Chains A and B, each alone.
Chain A
Amino acid sequence: MASITRRTVIATAATAAFVPVTAIRCAAQNPNQPRSLTPAQRRTTEMLADRIIPADELGPGALECGAANYIDIQMADYLAPQKDAWVAGLAALDAFAMETQGAAFADLSVEKRDAVLMALPQNLQAFFNMARTYTMQGTFGDPHYGGNINGKGWDIIRYPGPRPATSPDMQKMDHEAEPYRKSAWGNE
């Protein structure tokens, strides 16, 4: 399995909208943390998160922020009760992609993956909502849980970061406070 560093991802994201990765290992994250997904499930999860919040000229998307890593880790932890539904949803997504676009979801181009998501049948809507919810958590939540690597997701919405205390200047309108990109738990 290819191992791509954070630096590579940032460099790649700056030059290309689509980042062809199979798995991301971030130096800041513990590789021994239990994961829940098979490599194939992980890859589908990544390719799905990538379309929900894509990398573009505004910067990295959910994939580069580690949303799939969040899902992989949390499905072995707090979200473990959701794992069966998640895996079943990935399988159903693949089946629908195969039926309509002729390949598994993760093997499709950006355009075809978007086409699949725009045409989702009713029985996949609940799974898509779940995927969006967890992608949001893994992109905008605290880095402590395995997503939002280095707080990069907060740049997407220009959230200045969870400081322990703030000055009056940091609440001025039309004034962006210096980004603060640390986890509330003291690790990145």
Chain B
Amino acid sequence: MAINLKPMDVAVVGLGAAGGVAVLPLCRAGLKVAGIEAGTWMDPHKDFKADEIHNNTRAMITTGNKIRREAPTIRNSPTGPARRGGPSPMMNAIGGTSIHYHAQSWRLKPWDFKTVTEVTKRYGKSYIPQGSTVEDWPISYDELEPYYDVAEIEVGVSGKAGNIKGKIDKEGNIFEGPRQREYPMPHLRTCDYLEHMKKAARSLGWNPFHSPAAINSVPYNGHGACGYHGYCDRGGCHLQAKNSTCFSTIPKAQATKNLTIFDRAQVTRIVVDANGKVSGVSYIFDGMEYFQPAKAVLVGSYTYENVRLLLLSKSKAYPNGLGNNKGQVGKHYFGHWDAQAGASASALFPMDLNIWYGAILSQGVVIDEWADDSFDHSGLGFIGGASMTVNTEKHPIAAASGSTWGQVPRNWGSDWKKWIHQNAGRTASAYIQTNSFPYETTFLDLDPEVKDPLGDPVIRVTTMTRENERRAAIYAQDKMEEWFKAAGAIMTAKGNPNGPNLSTHTYGGTRMGDNPDTSVVDKWGFSHEAPNLGMLGGSVFGTSGARNPTLTIQALAWRTAEHLAKNWKSITG
């Protein structure tokens, strides 16, 4: 039998990018919060190293034992066999994936929230991709703007505004939705390569700008500024200049004395009372089962695990899984058509770029001309597009192992060594992120065969290639190639975008909407069925945008938590 713990006001499942933000408004409102996390604290001095073997080759930061054993299976058709996927998307630690992410901190566009309405208005209904289940979000950009603002301030985001209350500034992103103020910190340092790429973009008539990042360009939040040493990717920041939630919002929540962290605690079920309300969570710590009673539960354990936890939490009130009486849990899932879906472009330059150091995408420059609805899609055969980022940070093993562009016959020996001696520092790649949408035949469910060590099924991902997204990604790759050539690249290469696999950018499964027949949570992030259950993370998104999801996840997490605190009696009563 489980050991019963002292009741708390709120149990937050997962202290990552989402839960690690939600705890702050709850604690500030005076609620007693149990933060339950499968991983534990990481030590910036011991764990975070400028070491490619540690971070990238062996993935020592990102792939713990728990997530290896819970990696979803994946299949490319709704009836085909599934194979075991890699563990890379998920992470167990206080701070979660915000420890190793690139810290890109974007606001989605107004268009992303109202895609169906806007596309229908401009091009007609026939432009909505066939088979897609895309809907307008139940909220607009303007409704989320105050929460973007608070997330940028509390997490700590650097950048340059392109639109403050309608006033356009060409140093920033001229295509962004109106902001109420400038970023809390200026954008990260530029460098020769980025200035070179900006000049090339301007020669094409495009408007380059520095990417927004949850990395300190100046001292902030009690931490120093970025050291630009170039080991952000899949590594934590030894300077704590990357605003992972374990260095930003979680310590602030701890300072209120209202947050109790239960680490190494693996939540296995959300428990429901006889009236169909959530009564707490069960978790396993050190081989023993515990029950944490709570008046409300917020689940922020990543898209795959959010859906798995609901589907596993069956009860009399919810025989098909928690909040799933209309069969919507796991539906409207989709992965982002980015590098993980094969969208890419790269270039070989005739000069040393010196982009070894830096801060991955966050020391980057972006073009938004070919994203969202920034351009006329009439007759193109797709909606959406992609943002394109060029950036710094190269690692030596990867640089030496890269393509030799057909210029030497073998990838070993003296000729090859001469080639990498000259060119390992002369190649660059771009990051392309395509607007992606949910479809009838992309979804998550429980795998009928593969189980984790506790005997619980893992998630099965059903995904496939999509003509709309493929066309948009190919269109963007061509634009990226044009940009590289304008910058003097002597050779360019493009990817073959054929669809998302397991990904660090996944969406839907507990979609947000006004209609309980097509969504799982309401406009505030609370279950249509269990009123004191809130969902946090990409699983509530209805569209992806053409940019990284984390800041939107954090703005929504803040909003859901604040809504709970402000409506405490009506939600938990």
Contacts and interface: CB of A to CB of B under 8 A. Distances in A.
Contacts of A168: 189, 191
Contacts, number: 135
A157 B399 contact: yes
B417 A174 contact: no
Given A164-B50, A165-B239, A158 B229 contact: no
B51 A142 contact: yes
Contacts of A61: 417
A154 B351 CA distance: 18
Contacts of B352: 158, 173-176
Contact of A145 (B50, B53, B227, B353): B53
A177 B229 CA distance: 13
Contact of A137 (B57, B231, B413): B57
Contacts of B51: 141-142, 144, 162, 183-185
Q: Please indicate which of the listed interface residues A78, A136, A174 has the most CB atoms of chain B within 10 Å of its own CB.
A: A136
B425 interface: yes
Contacts of A8: none
Given A114-B413, A171-B193, A174-B351, A166 B357 contact: yes
A54 interface: yes
A78 B51 CA distance: 15
Interface in B154-196: 189, 191-193, 196
Contacts of B50: 162-164, 184
A145 B355 CA distance: 25
Contact of A157 (B239, B414, B420): B420
B513 interface: no
A58 interface: yes
Interface string B381-413: 000000000001000110111000000001111
Given A52-B413, A136-B400, A171-B354, A142 B229 contact: no
B400 to A, nearest CB: 5
A119 interface: no
Interface in A106-125: 114, 117-118
Nearest to B417: A53
A176 to B, nearest CB: 8
B418 A58 contact: yes
Contacts of B192: 171-173
A14 B25 CA distance: 64
B535 interface: no
Given A132-B411, A185-B51, A54 B228 contact: no
Q: How large is the interface on A (under 10, 10 to 19, 20 to 34, 35 or more residues)?
A: 35 or more
A159 interface: yes
Interface in A95-154: 114, 117-118, 132-133, 136-137, 139-142, 144-145, 153-154
B227 A165 contact: yes
B424 A136 contact: no
B396 A172 contact: no
Contacts of A139: 400
B314 interface: no
A58 B53 contact: no
Given A51-B412, A53-B417, A171-B354, A162 B229 contact: yes
B421 A156 contact: yes
B424 A159 contact: yes
Contacts of A185: 49, 51
Contacts of A173: 192-193, 196, 351-354
Contacts of B401: 133, 136
B58 interface: yes
A58 B396 CA distance: 17
A171 B53 contact: no
Interface in B47-67: 49-54, 57-58
A171 B413 contact: no
25 contacts: A53-B412, A117-B412, A136-B397, A137-B53, A140-B400, A142-B49, A142-B52, A157-B400, A157-B420, A157-B424, A158-B352, A158-B421, A159-B396, A159-B399, A162-B50, A164-B238, A171-B228, A171-B358, A171-B392, A172-B192, A172-B354, A174-B351, A174-B354, A177-B357, A184-B50
Kindly list the 7 A-B residue pairs having the minimum CB-CB distance in the complex, ordered from nearest: A165-B227, A162-B50, A171-B191, A157-B424, A173-B192, A140-B396, A184-B50
Interface of A: 51-54, 56, 58, 61, 78, 114, 117-118, 132-133, 136-137, 139-142, 144-145, 153-154, 156-160, 162-166, 168, 170-177, 183-185
